[in-house]
């Protein structure tokens, strides 16, 4: 079922969120439900009277499951569905404050950056017509400067209107004009609060570009390019940045979602603790205040993290959630496990999701004029093979399907341009022919599939 594009995540009911996720992710019902409830709870919270609202804290979630079973995919889909600011980070990218690397507060700065962009884009969309009108006037000024003498008997105004129609029809697209590109890249050096290395570097770079290029110069460009440049400029002008920042801050604080991947990799590895474990614990410790609720200063102002929802995920092969420091465990009250995928799940993954893998290949080859059809038996066979390889070698979950499919269609992909106009049916027999040799030899399997 399709929702109109404007349906926003905070209007979706849990059942609807799950249904949306079902379009892309097979199984993993428990994880979908838990996330749907957590997201819905935030909408509910927003409806509470202020006094209670501040008491309700988000119920952070840890998703536990082997590699390639859909953890990141669920998060990615939630992000697409939502108008809630969303960021996905890898826990391993961060280091304890004071060490070289990113500090965890940059997560919140990045999240805010995402939100500002998002709101600006929405405002720009809202102002689109106004912007387009302004751009058109500016282009017309270039083609027919207001001071230009009237052409023939037409008045200046009539010529302008004629040109306007031609401009809209693209008649001037390739004409060269000279524009001033001074104001093009607005360099913002607004490092406030605690600057981190990245922001400083950014600032240094923009300084460099100011001194390097000198201020504003004229450039010859096509009308087509000038339209792009003007649109950028006019959009920037039309969008009320202060308003965008206020709105973004509100969304981050009330609806923001941070997805922390690979959380297991900063857990103790078990056994004797080493230097690495100490620094990993440092990252966990740094995360505590942000998850609990703290103020992070960003260049857009101070962000309160109390109501940001955190979803952590990890395979937890070596370590267990209980290897995380207790304070951190306690801040993730919800645990969901994702299941290992079996042959039947693979079959469904190959066929059911919108943009299923078989469909992707069909479309790819269709661009060469080749029609491929997968017989049901073939898809069964592919699923079995993927599952078999997963159980004899490393279990890499649904990612195995990609390697198997690549190998299966290698020959076809290579010679597709020569097969234009043909229809090729992939049968179970074809699958066996292409893959059984490899399957028989365990060493080969290890390398190829
Ligand atoms: N349940 C599923 N339904 C549909 N597709 C899936 C499912 N699980 C995995 N996939 C596909 O497999 C690929 C890998 O999945 P994903 O990135 O979610 O793995 P993961 O669970 O995050 O693994 P890791 O622990 O290695 O990060 C994705 O492209 C996704 O489309
Ligand atoms: Mg992942």
Over residues 148-196, the pLDDT tens digits come to 666 666 788 888 888 999 999 988 888 888 888 764 454 444 444 445 5
Is residue 26 within 6 Å of ligand 1 at its C-beta? yes
Does 433 have pLDDT greater than 70? yes
Q: Domains of the chain by range and CATH?
A: 9-116+248-337 (3.40.50.300), 119-246 (no CATH), 343-438 (1.10.8.60)
Q: Which of ligand 1's atoms lies nearest the C-alpha of 338?
A: 21
Which protein residue has the closest C-alpha to ligand 1 atom 11?
Answer: 398
Cα four-point dihedral sign 234, 235, 239, 245: negative
Q: What is the mean pLDDT of residues 410-418?
A: 88
d(CA 428, CA 430): 5
Q: What is the mean pLDDT of residues 434-444?
A: 74
Give 212-219 contacts, CB < 8 A, sequence gap 24+: 215/182, 216/180, 216/181, 216/182, 216/183, 217/180, 217/181, 217/182, 218/178, 218/179, 218/180, 218/181, 219/178, 219/179, 219/180, 219/181
Please give the helix or strand (H or E) that residue 141 lies within, else none: helix 128-143
Tokens 């104001």 locate to: 183
How does the average pLDDT of the chain come out, rounded?
Answer: 84
User: What pLDDT does 190 receive?
Assistant: 44
The structure's pTM equals 0.76
Considering only residues 285 and 443, tell me which one the structure prediction assigns the higher pLDDT: 285
d(CA 390, CA 69): 12
Nearest bound ligand to CA 314? 1
Is residue 399 within 6 Å of ligand 1 at its C-beta? yes
Q: Are 112 and 250 in contact (CB under 8 A)?
A: no
Strands (DSSP E) contained in 196-322 are 218-222, 257-261, 295-298, 301-304, 309-314
User: What pLDDT does 99 receive?
Assistant: 66
Please give the helix or strand (H or E) that residue 372 lies within, else none: strand 371-374
Considering only residues 146 and 339, tell me which one the structure prediction assigns the higher pLDDT: 339
User: What pLDDT does 275 receive?
Assistant: 60
Tokens of 325: 């420091």
Nearest to 375 by CA among 419, 414, 418, 432: 432
Please give the helix or strand (H or E) that residue 50 lies within, else none: helix 50-53
CA of 117 from ligand 1 middle (Å) equals: 27
User: What pLDDT does 189 receive?
Assistant: 44
pLDDT-derived band at 442 (thresholds 50, 70, 90) equals low
d(CA 334, CA 61): 5
Is residue 67 within 6 Å of ligand 1 at its C-beta? yes
Strand 301-304 with 295-298, pairing: antiparallel
CA of 375 from ligand 2 middle (Å) equals: 31
Does 5 have pLDDT greater than 50? no
User: What pLDDT does 21 receive?
Assistant: 93
Query: Residue 11: what are its φ and ψ, rounded to 5°?
Result: -100, -15
Q: What is the mean pLDDT of residues 271-290?
A: 75
Is residue 116 within 6 Å of ligand 1 at its C-beta? no
Does 445 have pLDDT greater than 90? no
């Amino acid at each position: 079922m399709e929702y109109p594009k404007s349906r926003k995540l905070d209007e979706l009911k849990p059942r609807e969120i799950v249904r949306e996720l079902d379009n892309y992710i097979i199984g993993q019902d428990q994880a979908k439900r838990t996330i749907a409830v957590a997201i819905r709870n935030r909408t509910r919270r927003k409806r509470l009277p202020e006094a209670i609202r501040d008491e309700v804290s988000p119920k952070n979630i840890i998703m536990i499951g082997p590699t390639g079973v859909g953890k990141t995919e669920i998060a990615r889909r939630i992000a697409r569905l939502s108008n809630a600011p969303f960021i996905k980070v890898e826990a391993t990218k961060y280091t304890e404050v004071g060490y070289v690397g990113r500090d965890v507060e940059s997560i919140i700065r990045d999240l805010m950056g995402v939100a500002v962009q998002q709101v600006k884009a929405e405002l720009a969309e809202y102002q689109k017509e106004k912007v387009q009108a302004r751009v058109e006037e500016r282009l017309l000024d270039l083609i027919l400067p207001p001071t230009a003498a009237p052409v023939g008997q037409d008045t200046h105004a009539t010529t302008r209107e004629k040109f306007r129609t031609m401009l809209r029809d693209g008649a001037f697209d390739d004409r060269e004009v000279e524009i001033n590109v001074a104001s093009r890249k607005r360099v913002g050096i607004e490092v406030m609060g605690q600057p981190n290395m990245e922001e400083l570097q950014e600032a240094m770079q923009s300084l460099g570009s100011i001194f390097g290029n000198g201020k504003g110069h004229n450039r010859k460009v096509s009308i087509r390019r000038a339209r792009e440049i003007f649109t950028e400029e006019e959009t920037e002008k039309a969008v009320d940045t202060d308003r965008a920042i206020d709105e973004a801050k509100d969304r981050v604080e009330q609806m923001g979602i941070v997805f922390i991947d690979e959380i297991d990799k900063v857990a103790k590895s078990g056994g004797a603790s080493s230097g690495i474990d100490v620094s990993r614990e440092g990252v966990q410790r740094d995360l505590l205040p942000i998850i609990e609720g703290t103020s992070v200063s960003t260049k857009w102002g101070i962000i309160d993290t109390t109501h940001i929802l955190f979803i952590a995920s990890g395979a937890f092969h070596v370590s267990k959630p209980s290897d995380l420091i207790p304070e951190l465990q306690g801040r993730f009250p919800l645990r969901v496990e994702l299941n290992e995928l079996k042959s039947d799940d693979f079959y469904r993954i190959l066929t059911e999701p919108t943009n299923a893998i078989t469909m992707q290949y069909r479309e790819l080859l269709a661009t060469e004029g080749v029609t491929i059809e997968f017989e049901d038996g073939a898809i069964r066979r592919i699923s079995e093979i993927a599952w078999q390889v997963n159980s004899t070698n490393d279990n890499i979950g649904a990612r195995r399907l990609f390697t198997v499919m690549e190998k299966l269609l290698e020959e076809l992909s290579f010679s597709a341009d020569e097969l234009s106009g043909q229809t090729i049916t992939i049968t179970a027999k074809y699958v066996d022919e292409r893959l059984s040799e490899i399957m028989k030899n365990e060493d080969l399997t290890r390398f190829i599939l």
